[in-house]
Copies of this chain bind each other. A is one copy, B any other.
């Protein structure tokens, strides 16, 4: 009896976000479990059965919230766009000095990927796994946007005469793209050694040096 009322209370608490919320809560749980499995157990263990056990549901219940396994991945993809891309855009479009923006941009980018470790693995592995054109197109747009936002900061710095105007913004942006990816690789391959803060600072230093370099 006591247990029952406790359970009721808990359920009523959940209700505060209203009935349908249960669906959205489940969706979040499933997506979270997806990333956990990918970064913790590997992509091949991302079966609907294993996923179900992670969220303490039956396998069939998964399909109440996502109509296919692929839909889960696409939904995560959409989340990354909302969370990461929009934030990077905001930082890039700030009115602060380019150097400050650059550092904030890099720190945010790297921190996000650190906190959401499974995301990078998911995006790349899924695209390579499926070789699906829609996925590749989305992934391409994803990188293109990051390069655009990063490039905006560089452009602004050049316009202000802070950074060297002879550099190819596009190439630096491409070089930049490699940084978070490298971090993710090192973080996964040598987690015991990898230092996030050190990595951030060192890379910011290198990019800064590269930008002012040809001023000499």
Question: Footprint of B on A, CB under 8 Å?
Answer: 38, 40-45, 121, 124-125, 128-132, 136, 139-140, 143, 167-168, 171-172, 174-175, 177-179, 181-182, 185-186, 188-190, 199, 202-203, 205-206, 209-210, 212-216
Contacts and interface: CB of A to CB of B under 8 A. Distances in A.
A42 B178 contact: no
27 contacts: A38-B128, A40-B131, A42-B128, A43-B125, A43-B128, A43-B131, A45-B131, A124-B128, A125-B128, A129-B129, A136-B189, A140-B190, A168-B202, A171-B203, A171-B205, A171-B206, A172-B206, A174-B199, A175-B203, A177-B178, A181-B185, A209-B213, A210-B210, A212-B213, A213-B213, A215-B216, A216-B216
A212 B168 CA distance: 17
Nearest to A174: B182
Contacts of A210: 206, 209-210, 213
